[in-house]
Structure formats: C-alpha cells, structure tokens
C-alpha cells in the first residue's frame, strides 16, 4: 500500500495490491469503529452492517436508532439549543474555523474512510474535506454579515426605527445521501449551527462511518454536547419521527423521497430545503476549446462514477465541432484508469452497490436494445470489484429510451449533435429537472447570455460543476424537480433562521391624533404618501 493509507493508521489487514485483487480484505481497527459508532443515539440493541463496495465485504456494524432514540436525540438537541443560541457569534464562528483546520489536518483519515465506504477514487474523495473546509471558512468568516441585526427603513423617517433579527429556527433535521458521505452529512449543518440551531442528522445507512467521523471532528472543534446528534436507521422508518420533531428539514437525495418529505413538512407547516436529482446538460458551442471541453466533459460525467447530483448525463455538441470533440472525449474516456484502490492514481472507482449497478446496467441495456450506439465503455467490470461499471458514452439516444430523460446516477452520458444554439438550449431545458448545466465557449459574454436562458440553479462556463459548487458565497440548488431552496451563500444560512422585525415607534401613532377625525386622518396620510413618493422614498 502507498504511504497515504498508513497515515490514517486505522486500517488493518490492507491488501498488498488492491487494484488487482477485488477479493482483498479491508478492515478497520475495532476500537476506531467503536469510537465512531458510540456517537449514534441508540438503545435499540440492533445493528446494521456497512459494506465496502471495494470488495462487497462488511467493515462495521452500526447501532440503529429506534423511534424512542430519535425522540431522545431531539430532546438532547432541544436542551442544548437554548444555551447554544446565546453563545456569542464570534465563538460559534471560531469553532467553524477550527473545524476548517482539523479537516485539512486529518484529511488522510477522512479520505480513507470515504474511499472505504463509497469505493470512489481517492481524488474524488478529496473533494469532500475540501468542500467542508471551504464551507466552514466561508461561514466562519461571514458570520456577522449574515447574522447581525439589520437596520431597515422605517415607515416614518426619524420616528420609526426598524431592526430585523435573524432568530434560529430551533432544531434542524438533516437527512443526507451516500454519494458524498462526509460533506453531504456535514456541510448543510454548518450554517445551521452557526445560526444558533441544534441539529439531528440522519446520514445514509450505507455510509455512516464517514458521517460519524464528521460528528467527531465537530466535537473536537469545540461544538458543545447536544448541538449535533446522529441517528441511524432506514430513512422511511425514522424519517417521519424526525420530521414530526423538527423545526426545519434539510434533505438531499432523490426527487421521489424529496416529494414525500416536502408533503410531510407541509402538513406540519415547517420549512424544508430539498437538494434533489438532475439530468444535467453540457453545451459545447462551436467556438469551444475542444481539448479543454473534452477534459471537462470527462470530469463532468465520470467524477465519483457519475454518482453526483450535478454530474452531466446529456451532452449537446455543435455540429461544426461534433466529430473532433467526440473523438477527443472518447479517447480521454478510454484512457481512464479504473480500480478498487485506497491510493491516489485511479481515475474512477466503483459504484456503491448492487442496486446502483443494476440501474446503470438496465439503462445501458435498454438504450442499446433500442438502437443506441456505445462509443466507449458499456460493460460491468466484475474483474475490478463487484459493482464496477465502465465510463460509458452513448450516441443515438432517443426519447423512448430510459436514459434519455431519467437520471441514471452512474457513469453514462449521451451525446447529441445540434445545429443552432436556440435548439440546444431548448433541448437542455427539456424534462423536469433543473440542477446544473455547463457551457463550453471561448466567448464568456456569449456563455453568460446563454446561461440566462438555461433553467438550472447553477451554470458553469468552461468548467464541469466545481466552479459554482466550490464558490460558497453563491447559492447552490435546483429549479423545478431538482429541488427547493438553496444551500451555500446567504440563502444557505437564512433557511435556518426566522426573520423577526422589531419596530420602535416614537412621537406619532398610527391613528388620528389631536382630536382629528378619521376622515381628516385619511386625508393627511394620503397627502403624506404623495409627498413621500415625490421625495423618492422607497
Ligand atoms: P434517497 O432519496 O433514497 O435517500 C437519501 C436519504 O434519504 C437517505 O439518507 C435515506 O435514508 C433517506 N430516506 C429515504 N427514504 C426516506 C423517507 N421516506 N423519509 C425520510 N428519509 C428517507 O436517495 P439516494 O438514491 O440514496 O441518493 C441519490 C439521489 O440523491 C440522486 O437522485 C441524486 O441526484 C440525489 N442527490 C442530490 C444532491 C443535490 O445536492 N442536489 C446531492 C447528492 C445526491
């Protein structure tokens, strides 16, 4: 094994040559696992295994939370939240900045766990501590800008003083998926904590260890006991008890589950933000730099084996550059190295599970059976590990094929030729999703003009998805069936606060004064409104 794995020091029995030994065993020190799993609120006595998709073998058993345990997690959160909300903003922000340093210092350990649990390539796992560090730094540094009481215009200048407070919602429930198990479990919770909320987090059952390491790091960064509580279990079983006790729900996952959660939140009149699926397009315009576009297209389509909400599954390429672009895209895809490995140097890892493999295989089989051509990949690779699938490029995909409009959530992309750009925009906007798009062009103004026509929450020009995703000051989320609400930026923290307006009135009341009749009052106020408009008041 390379030097990276021993750096974390918690893996034992590592395979000598994991890239070529799919049956190799990866085991974690029992004490290390016990220290992580004790953070689950659980008295049920039940456990559920977590498997490594690198070889399909179990690596840990996670204590499971009953409905009573969920109730206990919320009780702990409620008890801690009141004191936490009174903790000075500077102290809360300092904890985030400590978390930033811890995550960078402990990245080997974090990445080891992510690779072990998700099977992704090490370079894709690195994106996770990086994203958590970026988020922690951003909110740590902008805490006052988002949370300080704001002065607003009063209705009567000089006599009505108005302030708006950002009051924490209370206890936020965070339900997260398996695909980015460390950052998806943590990043949305950081602004919630900073705003003075407590959190109950339910990470996906397949990737609990990465999420529990996140909980441990929060503790080490100084966040007090009870402000971050982890429950474990099957989403459809403990999701409802969570929603019943939350003041707000932040959900990341599939559109189907998001719809269910939004309905339950609506019943309780609590807010929710939903980061859901996508069928994300890339537009390669005729003036695109072909080599850069082909390089970006590989990252856009095959990062984390395509198990990425902002991953590209549809590629619209201008007629004039189609052949040259496709030749370069195929060549770069075929040159990718695949492997089940804890080490750097692998371009793409495995899918996470048999279920994911079956979906990907079914989408490709259906397309091929109906006449699509495979330009690259197209096959499962059991020789590399139980759930491997090659990075796959399809041509000739038509609306009757499943992968035309449905999210595959795997390493499968369809390429289409376009003749004029308005047609490409219309096709990119077709369907129900609207998460992320990319545009490759050497004309930035043109790219930005086209971006305004695209119905997606984020648009990256000359980049796959990282430019928007890593720019934490900007909002990230989906239009249409790709979600509601935004993570990151001001919206990403204000979803967790209630705006409270406080007006202090002096000298004048909002009723007739000095024996004035109601009619005279109405006339005075009407004259006043006219004067205010003339004076340019908002
Ligand atoms: P999923 O909806 O099945 O599961 C996501 C989470 O929801 C898990 O923690 C799961 O346990 C929980 N859950 C499942 N049913 C639930 C219920 N009835 N009540 C409460 N919680 C429940 O999603 P998945 O298939 O595991 O994840 C992949 C999907 O997530 C893809 O569609 C992908 O596009 C999407 N995703 C979106 C983003 C984003 O930021 N937009 C990020 C990552 C993944």
Instruction: Report the candidate in 237, 253, 246, 264 with the shortest Cα–Cα distance to residue 64.
Output: 237
pLDDT of amino acid 26 = 82
User: Is the shortest distance between the CB of 264 and ligand 1 below 6 Å?
Assistant: no
Pocket test for ligand 1, best of 124, 200, 212, 253 (most atoms within 8 A of CB): 253
Residue 243 Cα: closest atom of ligand 1:
20
Q: Which residues pair with 280 in a beta bridge?
A: 312
User: Is the shortest distance between the CB of 257 and ligand 1 below 6 Å?
Assistant: yes
pLDDT in tens, 229-274: 999 999 999 999 999 999 999 999 999 999 999 999 999 999 999 9
Closest Cα to atom 27 of ligand 1: 253
Sheet with 150-152, strands from edge to edge, namely 150-152, 160-168, 497-505
User: Is the shortest distance between the CB of 230 and ligand 1 below 6 Å?
Assistant: no
Helices 107-118 and 208-220 meet at what angle, rounded to 10? 160
Q: What is the pTM of this model?
A: 0.94
Tokens representing 340 are 């089940």
Q: Are 309 and 463 in contact (CB under 8 A)?
A: no
468/465 Cα distance (integer angstroms) = 6
Q: Which residues contact 515 (CB under 8 A, 6 or more apart)?
A: none
Q: What mean pLDDT, rounded, does the chain reach?
A: 95
Q: Are 301 and 279 in contact (CB under 8 A)?
A: no
Phi and psi torsions of 293, nearest 5°: -65, -40
Decide yes or no: CATH 3.40.309.10 for domain 280-477: yes
pLDDT in tens, 53-92: 999 999 999 999 999 999 999 999 999 999 999 999 999 9
Per DSSP, the residues of 54-68 read: TTTEEEEEEEPP-HH
Give the Å distance between the CA of 322 and the centre of ligand 1.
35
pLDDT of amino acid 271 = 98
User: Is the shortest distance between the CB of 409 and ligand 1 below 6 Å?
Assistant: yes
Which secondary structure element, helix H or strand E, spans residue 210, and what is its range?
helix 208-220
Q: Are 201 and 150 in contact (CB under 8 A)?
A: no
- Three-state SS for 48? strand
The structural domains of the chain, with segments of one domain joined by +, span: 11-51+58-276, 280-477
- Owner of token pair 């990151």: 488
Q: Are 50 and 207 in contact (CB under 8 A)?
A: yes
Phi and psi torsions of 413, nearest 5°: -130, 140
Fold of the domain built from segment(s) 11-51+58-276: Aldehyde Dehydrogenase; Chain A, domain 1 (3.40.605)
Closest Cα to atom 10 of ligand 1: 235
Count of beta carbons in the 10 Å neighbourhood of residue 384 = 22
pLDDT in tens, 128-169: 999 999 999 999 999 999 999 999 999 998 999 999 999 999
């Amino acid at each position: 094994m390379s030097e990276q794995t021993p750096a974390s020091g918690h893996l034992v029995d590592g395979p000598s040559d994991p890239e070529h030994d799919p049956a190799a065993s990866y085991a974690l020190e029992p004490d290390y696992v016990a220290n992580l799993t004790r953070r689950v609120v659980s008295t049920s006595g039940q456990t559920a295994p977590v498997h490594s998709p690198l070889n399909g073998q179990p690596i840990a058993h996670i204590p499971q939370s009953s409905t009573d345990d969920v109730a206990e997690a919320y009780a702990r959160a409620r008890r801690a939240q009141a004191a936490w909300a009174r903790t000075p903003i500077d102290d809360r922000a300092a904890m985030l900045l400590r978390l930033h340093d811890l995550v960078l210092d402990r990245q080997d350990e974090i990445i080891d766990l992510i690779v072990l649990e998700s099977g992704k390539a090490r370079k894709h796992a690195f994106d996770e501590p990086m994203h958590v560090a970026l988020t922690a730094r951003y909110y740590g540094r902008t805490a006052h800008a988002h949370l300080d009481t704001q002065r607003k215009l009063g209705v009567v200048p000089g006599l009505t003083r108005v302030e708006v407070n950002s009051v924490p919602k209370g206890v936020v429930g965070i339900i997260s998926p398996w695909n980015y198990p460390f950052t998806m479990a943590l990043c949305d919770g950081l602004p919630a904590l900073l705003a003075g909320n407590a959190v109950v987090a339910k990470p996906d059952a397949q990737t609990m260890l990465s999420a529990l390491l996140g909980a441990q790091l929060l503790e080490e960064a100084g966040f007090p006991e009870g402000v971050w509580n982890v429950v474990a279990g099957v989403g459809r079983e403990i999701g409802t008890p969570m929603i019943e006790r939350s003041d707000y729900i932040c959900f990341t996952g599939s559109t189907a589950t998001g719809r269910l959660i939004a309905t339950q939140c609506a019943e309780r009149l609590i807010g929710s933000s939903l980061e859901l699926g996508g069928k994300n397009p890339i537009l390669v315009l005729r003036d695109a730099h072909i080599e850069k576009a082909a390089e970006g297209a590989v990252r856009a389509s095959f990062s984390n084996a395509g198990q990425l909400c902002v991953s590209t599954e549809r590629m619209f390429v201008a007629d004039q550059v189609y052949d040259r672009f496709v030749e370069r895209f195929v060549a770069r895809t075929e040159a990718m190295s695949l492997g089940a490995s804890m080490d750097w140097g692998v371009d793409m890892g495995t899918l996470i599970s048999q279920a994911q493999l079956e979906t990907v295989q079914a989408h490709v089989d259906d397309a091929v059976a109906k006449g699509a051509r495979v330009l690259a990949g197209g096959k499962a690779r059991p020789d590399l590990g139980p759930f491997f699938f090659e990075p796959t490029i399809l041509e000739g995909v038509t609306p009757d094929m499943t992968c035309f409009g449905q999210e595959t959530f795997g390493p499968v992309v369809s390429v289409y030729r376009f003749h004029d750009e308005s047609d490409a925009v219309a096709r990119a906007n077709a369907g129900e999703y609207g998460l992320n798009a990319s545009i490759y062009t050497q004309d930035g103004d043109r790219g930005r003009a086209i971006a305004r026509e695209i119905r997606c929450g984020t648009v990256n020009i000359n980049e796959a998805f990282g430019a928007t995703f890593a720019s934490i000051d900007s909002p990230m989320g989906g239009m249409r069936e790709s979600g509601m609400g935004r993570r990151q930026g001001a919206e990403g923290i204000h979803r967790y606060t209630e705006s409270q307006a406080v007006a202090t009135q002096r000298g004048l009341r909002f009723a007739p004064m000095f024996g004035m009749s109601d009619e005279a009052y109405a006339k005075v106020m009407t004259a006043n409104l006219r004067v205010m408009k003339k004076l340019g008041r908002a």
